[in-house]
Amino acid sequence: MSLFSLRHLLPSVREHRKVEAEIYRLLGETLDKDYVKPPPPPAGLLRYAQRHIFSILFLAVYRAIGIPEERRLLYGTINHAIRGIVTGTDNLLDDEYKEMLPLRFPERATRFKSVMHILLFDRFLFRVLDEAAARGLLPEGRRQLVQQKIFQAMVPIGEEESTEEGGVHEILTPAQILRSIHVHKGGNLLRLAFVAPRLIEKDLFAPLEIADQGIFRIGMALQVIDDLTDFYEDIRDRRHNYLVSFIRFEGEAAERERLQQLLDGEGEPEPVDRAFRASVERVLARAIGEALAGFAELEEAGFWLSASDAMRLIRYLFRLRGVGELLALWPRGKEPTETLGGLHGTAA
């Protein structure tokens, strides 16, 4: 992340620390103190920004569009609650444990702590909207509508995850992957941050619509990038993967043959950028082009990030998502113009 970007994001980093403080307040008022550990010491600026990059980015977009601070903090708290519910659910589905709340339960009780994350963040989501309505931050009758619309937007994302439980038995085409899989787990997942603002900020509806579509495109691109990281894991677990699909339907003959060996349980895994270089380069160019198009829409909505800043931020996101080695395949010369194919998020 460049110093320029970090300097511009600094007000939103500070706002996100306020959001976390609000979450800790809600935790202290919801759960008996015997079950709560002291929160960890504050992380340094760069580490903190890395850990919460998208939550901070959303706050920065709200700020650029012109949403007042009190409601920015409300949306930031809503986003953190949604993130907590999603993280707790992912923990259970993926048999892992990423902690977002300092809970005092046995170290090994990861499933129970994940369940507690879901229960607590769900309560926080309702509580913060109740309090906002009491303070007059929501238009009359909007509290229940916001709660319902957030829930309705989350269900299809969860449904997509459910279709992959136990493994899939068909490799979809790249277009099908985008249209029926990544539209949910990539694009619409990030769009959850715009459900509440689009229902409440009626005077800012036009820029919010543009930003919403920009975030959708960035989410689609990042899910494709994640597929490069998860390539072998997804083959093992029989999950949908854009790179697998691309190789099967658009890859060179030698790469298709190598993929089939892996699907048959033969051959040894090697770095994807070496084993499937031609396909990885093309997928990478599409993902980068899609992300740049998304950031261009954010700029159109009023966000301060220029095209060159967006390029730097995308490179930074590659490192953050564990695919920094793929930067060697970054398209040289002109910016990539090929995208993932013109999908759009549907209205919430």
The pLDDT of residue 89:
96
- On the question of pLDDT at 17 being above 60, the answer is yes
Choosing from 84, 118, 137, the residue where a domain stops is: 137
Which whole number is the average pLDDT over 191-217? 97
Bridge partners of 103, per DSSP, are 36
| Residue 144 is assigned to a structural domain of this protein | no
Return d(Cα 256, Cα 279) in angstroms, integer: 10
Band of residue 128 on the pLDDT scale cut at 50, 70, 90: very high
Task: Determine the structural domain holding residue 101 and report its residue range.
Answer: 1-137
Higher local confidence (pLDDT), 319 or 238? 238
Bridge partners of 36, per DSSP, are 103
At residue 62, the 3 state secondary structure works out as helix
- On the question of pLDDT at 3 being above 60, the answer is no
Choosing from 115, 137, 159, the residue where a domain stops is: 137
Query: Domain count of the chain?
Result: 2
| Residue 160 is assigned to a structural domain of this protein | no
Residues 172 and 308 in one domain: yes
**Minimum mean pLDDT range among 203-207, 223-227, 326-330:** 326-330
Residues 194 and 92 in one domain: no
Residues 271 and 333 in one domain: yes
The pLDDT of residue 282:
94
Task: Please give the distance of CA 59 from its chain centroid, rounded to a whole number.
Answer: 14
The pLDDT of residue 242:
98
- On the question of pLDDT at 184 being above 80, the answer is yes
Return d(Cα 326, Cα 279) in angstroms, integer: 12
Sign of the dihedral defined by the CA atoms of residues 192, 167, 226, 81, in that order: positive
Return d(Cα 60, Cα 19) in angstroms, integer: 13
Residues 202 and 68 in one domain: no
Choosing from 121, 137, 153, the residue where a domain stops is: 137
| Residue 155 is assigned to a structural domain of this protein | no
Residues 172 and 302 in one domain: yes
Residues 272 and 212 in one domain: yes
- On the question of pLDDT at 321 being above 80, the answer is no
Band of residue 320 on the pLDDT scale cut at 50, 70, 90: confident
Residues 178 and 61 in one domain: no
- On the question of pLDDT at 318 being above 90, the answer is no
- On the question of pLDDT at 50 being above 90, the answer is no
Asked if 193 and 219 count as a contact pair (C-beta separation under 8 A), the reply is: no
Share of the chain above pLDDT 90, in %: 78
Asked if 149 and 199 count as a contact pair (C-beta separation under 8 A), the reply is: yes
| Residue 156 is assigned to a structural domain of this protein | no
Band of residue 216 on the pLDDT scale cut at 50, 70, 90: very high
Q: Which ranges of the chain does DSSP label H, i.e. alpha helix? A: 3-30, 45-51, 53-65, 69-94, 110-134, 142-163, 174-176, 189-191, 195-200, 205-229, 231-237, 242-250, 253-263, 272-275, 277-300, 307-320
Closest CA to 195 of 152, 135, 156: 152
| Residue 143 is assigned to a structural domain of this protein | no
This prediction has a pTM of: 0.92
Return d(Cα 41, Cα 112) in angstroms, integer: 24
- On the question of pLDDT at 139 being above 80, the answer is yes
Residues 71 and 180 in one domain: no
pLDDT digits (tens, 9 = 90+) for 148-161: 999 999 999 999 99
List phi, psi (to 5°) of 233. -60, -45
Residues 104 and 211 in one domain: no
| Residue 142 is assigned to a structural domain of this protein | no
| Residue 64 is assigned to a structural domain of this protein | yes
Mean pLDDT of the chain: 92
- On the question of pLDDT at 192 being above 80, the answer is yes
Neighbours of 166 (CB within 10 A): 9
Band of residue 42 on the pLDDT scale cut at 50, 70, 90: confident
**Minimum mean pLDDT range among 70-74, 105-109, 262-266, 336-340:** 336-340
Return d(Cα 246, Cα 12) in angstroms, integer: 38
Return d(Cα 220, Cα 183) in angstroms, integer: 7
Residues 133 and 172 in one domain: no
Closest CA to 220 of 174, 246, 189: 189
| Residue 150 is assigned to a structural domain of this protein | no
Residues 194 and 327 in one domain: yes
pLDDT digits (tens, 9 = 90+) for 77-108: 999 999 999 999 999 998 999 999 999 999 99
Burial of 134 (0-12, 13-18, 19+ CB in 10 A): exposed
Band of residue 322 on the pLDDT scale cut at 50, 70, 90: confident
DSSP 242-274: HHHHHHHHHS-HHHHHHHHHHHTT-S----HHH
Residues 109 and 175 in one domain: no
